[in-house]
Structure 1
Amino acid sequence: MRLPPLPTVSEIVHLYQLTARKQLAQNFLLDMNLTRKVVRKAGSLDGGFVCEVGPGPGGITRAILNTAAKRVVVVEKDGRFIPGLQMLADASEDRMKIVHGDILQFKMEQIIPETYRVPWEDKPPNVHIIGNLPFNISTPLIVQWLEDIANQSGAWSFGRTRLTLTFQKEVAERMVAPVSSDMRCRLSVMCQYLCDVSLKFGIPGKAFTPAPKVDVGVVQFVPLMKPRINLPFKMVEKVCRHVFHYRQKMIKHSIATLFPVDMPELTAEMFERSDLDPSSRPPQLKLRDFSKLCSAYNDICCQHAFIFDFDYRSRKHAKLLRRGRNTLIEKLEEKSLVDLPETESSDVEVPVR
């Protein structure tokens, strides 16, 4: 399926006087050889549904429409790009729809046809999410989507939907960083415990308009049939965040931040339950080590319900703790009771009971 002759993307940019907005971290990819390569790395789109995030002037959009994709929906926040995208939609023979909105607030499950739904245990559905993401939303967006993957919600209520996305090269390398790598971080564990993650190729910054000071990496995520850590996302995310808080120090210092300072016995219990060496460094931990830490923390939270809501950085919690441990416990237990849902939910922010 080929598009009819149209103005080039560069001509569209000139025609509508489109300039990249620094506050939106916009960088246009106008080289059609590179946009086609991004789309090829997503796999076969024949007969598939594609959601493109942040199409901008439509470089990657054109490459998608030149495949045999059956339906393409683009989500664009900046209204300046809508006229140029509408030109593509008009030429696409009703295969393309434009959504003017913020992808961070967008409910993708509302636009995916029911015919694409498959069981989670089957092969990934013929649904693809592709995008040249603005740097300023790329990390919060992928964390939001990882939570949806963990809960099998949103676009992942249709099965193990694949993502092919661009990130700042350093962020991309962190996502795929192996154990003991200098790049290993919280994001490495969060991505790898839920997905097979691969860095497909790099794009030099000079290929973009305007050229960013950093290079870009194209990363693909394929959700796993079974997560490598079988606990709620919020539980795993909190443990990982704390472990890498002092990434160059021994993990005993990081783990201690999960608990009030006057409860060191719980830190000792974490290591007793997980059977890990307190002198280990965060980048040295394997996914099964994180699984042990998360399980140990979950068990402790089940015994002491208030612990999960404790935040060592909170001034309010520090003030309550100075009044005495019981005062802190009472306030946190009150919060836990208020937040406790009446019915079970896949995204409950409470420990597994």
Structure 2
Amino acid sequence: MSTLPTLRESLEAHGLMAKKSFGQHFLLDLNVTRKIVRLGGPFDGDTVIEVGPGPGGLTRALLESEAKYVLAVEKDSRFIELLAELDAAYPGRFGVVENDALKVDEAALLAEYGLPPEAHLVSNLPYNVGTPLLIKWLTGPWQPKSLTLMFQLEVALRVVAPVGDDDYGRLSVISQVLCDCDKIMDLPARAFTPPPKVDSAVVRLVPKAERPDRKIIKNLETITAAAFGQRRKMLRASLKGLGGETLLAKVGIEPTLRAENISPADFLRLAEAL
């Protein structure tokens, strides 16, 4: 690592700046990125997929860790050449793919690189696609070993919010039904270049050992969309199109309650009943 230029030097050498249209805000302090990797690990002997590495702040920290291989997925073609320089410093441990993470088939990508089908996900997520990417990774056919993800603070709070909290919603339920979720680090806006208008936080999610089948997960998405889409209404009204009081009676949930009062476990029971 000592033979590499600093992140700022690399950006200047390649004439690169953050692109607003991609929601880019760079972490250039390696002390911060090392802490994120330490809290998100351990990655000993495992593969890590990093999404949106940009200039490579988190990438460098991941390559310093005990991860066996780091595979970066970057949509912005401007950074591919800069990131490729890391391969010389860490031969045989790093690969970079130019692609849109929303469209990537992670299982196929790992197979293409001859890597095991299991991998961790780490990302300083672009603000404009953070939630869609999380839903993809939570509900899709490929299941990561763990997810260490940075969001704008309001999204991070929604992921970990307990039932009854103001931030509790659809994202909370889906995340907590499928994973153990913890907010592990807060980051002020000034930690980024350029600084965003809001603070950020890092969330670590570990998929639960027992996972509902795909049909139940789809039902969960449907029910939470209906319940929280009309969160001020009683469940008997917001879930009317899905069975309403009949569905609620199947699992013993009071029809006059609202979505914010229903635990993730009870939403799962509703999905199973549906």
Interval containing the TM-score (normalised by the shorter chain): over 0.9
Matched, 1:273 2:250: yes
* Structure 1 Cα separation of the partners of residues 100 and 215 of structure 2: 30
Corresponding letter in the other structure for 1:59: G
Matched, 1:44 2:42: yes
Larger Rg: 1
Corresponding letter in the other structure for 2:229: H
Give the 3-state SS of the residue equivalent to 1:217 in structure 2: strand
* Structure 2 Cα separation of the partners of residues 111 and 42 of structure 1: 22
Tell me which residue corresponds to 1:194.
Answer: 178
Matched, 1:139 2:131: yes
* Structure 2 Cα separation of the partners of residues 68 and 287 of structure 1: 35
Structure 2's unaligned 5+ residue stretches are none
Matched, 1:68 2:60: no
Per-residue deviation at 1:25? Answer: 0.5
| Identical columns (%) | 40
Give the 3-state SS of the residue equivalent to 2:73 in structure 1: strand
Tell me which residue corresponds to 1:243.
Answer: 227
Tell me which residue corresponds to 1:105.
Answer: 103
* Structure 2 Cα separation of the partners of residues 12 and 115 of structure 1: 29
Contact kept? 1:199, 1:218, Cα under 8 Å: yes
* Structure 2 Cα separation of the partners of residues 51 and 57 of structure 1: 16
Runs of 4+ deviating beyond 4 Å? 228-231
* Structure 1 Cα separation of the partners of residues 66 and 253 of structure 2: 51
Per-residue deviation at 1:230? Answer: 8.8
Give the 3-state SS of the residue equivalent to 1:232 in structure 2: helix
Per-residue deviation at 1:218? Answer: 0.5
Corresponding letter in the other structure for 1:287: P
Change (3 A) 1:288 1:50: closer
Matched, 1:282 2:274: no
Contact kept? 2:47, 2:115, Cα under 8 Å: no
* Structure 1 Cα separation of the partners of residues 115 and 128 of structure 2: 34
Give the 3-state SS of the residue equivalent to 1:202 in structure 2: strand
Corresponding letter in the other structure for 1:286: S
- Residue 234 of structure 1: which of 218, 227, 232 is its match? 218
* Structure 1 Cα separation of the partners of residues 214 and 151 of structure 2: 27
Contact kept? 1:12, 1:84, Cα under 8 Å: yes
1:159-174 map, 5 Å? 161-174=145-158
* Structure 2 Cα separation of the partners of residues 268 and 290 of structure 1: 14
* Structure 2 Cα separation of the partners of residues 24 and 84 of structure 1: 18
Give the 3-state SS of the residue equivalent to 2:239 in structure 1: helix
Per-residue deviation at 1:45? Answer: 2.2
Contact kept? 1:4, 1:91, Cα under 8 Å: no
Structure 1's unaligned 5+ residue stretches are 118-124, 260-265, 299-353
- TM-score w.r.t. length of structure 1: 0.73
Greater RCO, CA 8 A, separation 6+: 2
Per-residue deviation at 1:231? Answer: 5.2
* Structure 2 Cα separation of the partners of residues 211 and 24 of structure 1: 14
Contact kept? 1:228, 1:288, Cα under 8 Å: no
Contact kept? 1:76, 1:99, Cα under 8 Å: yes
1:1-353 map, 5 Å? 3-112=1-110, 116=116, 127-148=119-140, 153-154=141-142, 156=143, 161-227=145-211, 232-256=216-240, 258=241, 266-296=243-273, 298=274
Q: Deviations over 1:27-50 (max 9, x none)?
A: 111111111111111212222211
The count of aligned residue pairs is: 272
Corresponding letter in the other structure for 2:250: R
Corresponding letter in the other structure for 1:21: K
* Structure 1 Cα separation of the partners of residues 4 and 252 of structure 2: 63
Contact kept? 1:193, 1:229, Cα under 8 Å: no
RMSD: 1.9
Tell me which residue corresponds to 1:317.
Answer: none
Corresponding letter in the other structure for 1:255: L
Contact kept? 2:53, 2:73, Cα under 8 Å: yes
Q: Deviations over 1:77-101 (max 9, x none)?
A: 1011112111111211221111111
